[in-house]
């Protein structure tokens, strides 16, 4: 009993206090500490080194019937012929009438019952059918944004990169940009496009559009190319800290893009990238990184596509543009497999939906942060 009492105190008073302090210190006052590596729209939490998931979300996603008794803090899960009983604070559960033990107890976090990831894998997935990562249809996070600028890279006499079978970057960019615009507009977001047809738009004009639009985000869509045909993947760029030294900044940018084939990037040159990135000013940088990460996570979660990740480049910034901005490289038209995928309208739609989900998640976090300030 003595031991139980002690572990009870540790579990319910000391550990939450430690987590609270840690999350406050580490996240600089941010209210929640989710590991953003959950299952689709289900967040994951690290509690004492164990990954926990909110039970109600798992049940919603897995279509599992759940019943919570607030008095005894016990939960009954039912689906098909199987039934699981569990209780907050207990590592003992009853599965179809038989006692099983979990390595970590069922817990409460932020007012909701959470279960160890292992419980999901060993019991929920096995008895009730696997709860897969990804967003359940219709349960995507809504986009909390008013206005977004979508920039389809290149256009007109500037084709951008060209694949071996003739796929032109400007066409892929425009199609993805239009699909993204539609998805955002469907959610009530006002979208400004720097171009909606196959025409050449000078970079200065794109900058002006972004500057004059008073939008909350700037999303530039590009497709990649590399002399190494095997190279493939999805990546997102943001502007990294201003060194205040243009020469060093340019050198860093060159290093970041060292493997680029100059022939491919005759039009998609350093200047283009520099100009786009110049549009991002320092205050928007943190949000740009968060947005870039959110988009990459979403692609990683929802697609088979290799994610090369979030990358920064050092450029001096252009004052006046207030919105966070990212440059997305959808894939490599120089890679035969990715060129084939990028030609496929189903694939384009999947990529676009994953990008939109990443933007939505970003906007949710951003809205929550705004509200807590």
Residues that bind Zn ion (CB under 5 A): 153, 160, 222, 268
Please give the Cα distance from 120 to 116 (Å, whole number).
7
Q: Minimal distance in Å, beta carbon 334 to Zn ion?
A: 12
Q: Which is nearer to Zn ion, 148 or 260 (CB)?
A: 260
Q: Which is nearer to Zn ion, 38 or 160 (CB)?
A: 160
* Of 333, 6, 370, 350, residue with least CA distance to 173: 333
Q: Which is nearer to Zn ion, 153 or 163 (CB)?
A: 153
Q: Which is nearer to Zn ion, 173 or 363 (CB)?
A: 173
Q: Minimal distance in Å, beta carbon 268 to Zn ion?
A: 4
Determine phi and psi for 127, rounding to 5 degrees: -85, -35
Q: Minimal distance in Å, beta carbon 272 to Zn ion?
A: 7
Count of residues making up the chain: 373
Please give the Cα distance from 362 to 145 (Å, whole number).
10
Q: Minimal distance in Å, beta carbon 277 to Zn ion?
A: 13
Count other Cβ atoms within 10 Å, centred on residue 366: 19
Bridge partners (DSSP) listed for residue 191: 148
Q: Minimal distance in Å, beta carbon 256 to Zn ion?
A: 15
Q: Which is nearer to Zn ion, 116 or 153 (CB)?
A: 153
* Of 146, 114, 96, 102, residue with least CA distance to 33: 114
Q: Minimal distance in Å, beta carbon 68 to Zn ion?
A: 52
Please give the Cα distance from 353 to 282 (Å, whole number).
29
- Contact between 236 and 327 under an 8 Å Cβ cutoff? The reply is yes
Q: Which is nearer to Zn ion, 165 or 372 (CB)?
A: 165
Ramachandran sector of residue 312 (left: φ over 0; alpha: ψ -120 to 50; beta: rest): beta
């Amino acid at each position: 009993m003595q031991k139980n009492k002690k572990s009870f105190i540790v579990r319910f008073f000391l550990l939450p206090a430690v987590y609270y302090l840690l999350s406050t210190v580490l996240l600089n006052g941010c209210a929640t500490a989710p590991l953003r590596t959950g299952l689709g729209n289900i967040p994951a939490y690290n509690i004492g080194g164990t990954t926990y998931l909110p039970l109600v979300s798992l049940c919603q996603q897995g279509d599992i019937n759940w019943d919570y008794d607030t008095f005894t803090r016990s939960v009954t899960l039912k689906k098909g012929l199987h039934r699981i009983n569990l209780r907050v604070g207990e590592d003992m559960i009853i599965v179809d009438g038989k006692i099983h033990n979990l390595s970590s107890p069922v817990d409460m976090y932020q007012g909701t019952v959470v279960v160890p990831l292992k419980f999901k894998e060993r019991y929920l997935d096995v008895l009730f059918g696997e709860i897969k990562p990804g967003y359940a249809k219709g349960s995507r996070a809504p986009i909390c944004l008013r206005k977004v600028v979508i920039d389809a890279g290149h256009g007109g006499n500037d084709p951008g990169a060209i694949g071996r079978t003739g796929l032109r970057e400007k066409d892929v960019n425009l199609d993805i940009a239009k699909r993204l615009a539609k998805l955002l507009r469907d959610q009530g977001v006002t979208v400004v496009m720097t171009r909606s047809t196959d025409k050449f738009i000078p970079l200065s004009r794109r900058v002006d559009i972004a500057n004059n639009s008073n939008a909350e985000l700037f999303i530039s869509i590009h497709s990649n190319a590399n002399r190494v045909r095997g190279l493939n993947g999805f990546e997102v760029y943001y502007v990294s800290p201003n060194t205040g030294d243009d020469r060093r900044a340019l050198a860093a940018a060159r290093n970041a893009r060292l493997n680029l084939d100059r022939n491919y990037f005759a039009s998609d040159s350093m200047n283009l990238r520099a100009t786009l990135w110049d549009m991002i000013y320092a205050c928007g940088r943190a949000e740009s990184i968060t947005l870039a990460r959110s988009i990459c996570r979403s692609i990683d979660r929802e697609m088979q596509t290799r994610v090369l990740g979030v990358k920064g480049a050092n450029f001096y910034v252009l004052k006046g543009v207030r919105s966070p901005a990212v440059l997305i490289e959808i894939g490599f038209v120089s890679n035969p497999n990715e060129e084939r995928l990028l030609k496929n309208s189903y694939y384009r739609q999947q990529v676009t939906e994953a990008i939109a989900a990443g933007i939505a998640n970003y906007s949710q976090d951003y809205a929550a942060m705004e509200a807590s300030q």
